[in-house]
Amino acid sequence: MKSDQLTTELRDYLMSKRVVNPLNVTLTNKQSFNGIKLDEITSERNFRHFKNVLNRRVFGNGYKRFGKELQMLVVREISSNQRHHIHCVIEHPKRYEISDFERLIRDVWTSTDFGYEEIHIEQPSSQRREDGWLSYIMKDRTKVTLDQSIDWINSSVLHH
């Protein structure tokens, strides 16, 4: 299968895996912490810690006991100046006011070792905006390849 065809099919697959009640989120990373330079593995571990803490705060014991978790689609990027950051779609639990959940995301992210305080969170106002965000996070410009940029482990929406 040709690379372009594979990328198109992967984009179609990801567009079909929709997060319920989505928030469009960009999380920036500290590029080093305590002498440890951020790389793809460290970034994945740091996000996993963020995801675990966020899910525990939202679901309590139900996260581990019953497997309850927020749906997420996670895409890693490295900007032209070599700064790691993460674009994602995170499920907004209906029982949280948007401002409270945004504050929770910010608090949990900045409490991680590599979580930087520059965070962008948007509640999409329409299906068009939701589709636009998905197209944006799947752009080629800041990726080696799309399939290598998807965080397959932490993207819980792909496991349903």
Q: Is 132 left (phi over 0), alpha (psi -120 to 50) or beta?
A: alpha
pTM confidence score: 0.91
pLDDT of 91: 98
Q: For Cα atoms 79, 83, 88, give the angle at the middle one, nearest 5 degrees.
A: 70
End-to-end CA distance of the chain: 26
Q: What is the pLDDT of residues 86-102, one digit of tens each?
A: 999 999 999 999 999 99
CATH 3.40.50.970 fits 22-159, yes or no: no
Average pLDDT over residues 104-130: 96
Higher per-residue pLDDT: 10 or 27: 27
Q: What is the DSSP letter of 150?
A: B
d(CA 89, CA 121): 9
Q: Could you tell me the pLDDT band of residue 21, with boundaries at 50, 70 and 90? A: very high
pLDDT reading at 2 higher than 60: no
Instruction: Judge whether 50 and 142 are in contact, CB under 8 Å.
Output: no
Q: What is the DSSP letter of 69?
A: -
Average pLDDT over residues 133-142: 82
Residue 98 amino acid letter: I
pLDDT reading at 5 higher than 80: no
- C-alpha closest to that of 31 among 21, 39, 23: 39
d(CA 154, CA 48): 6
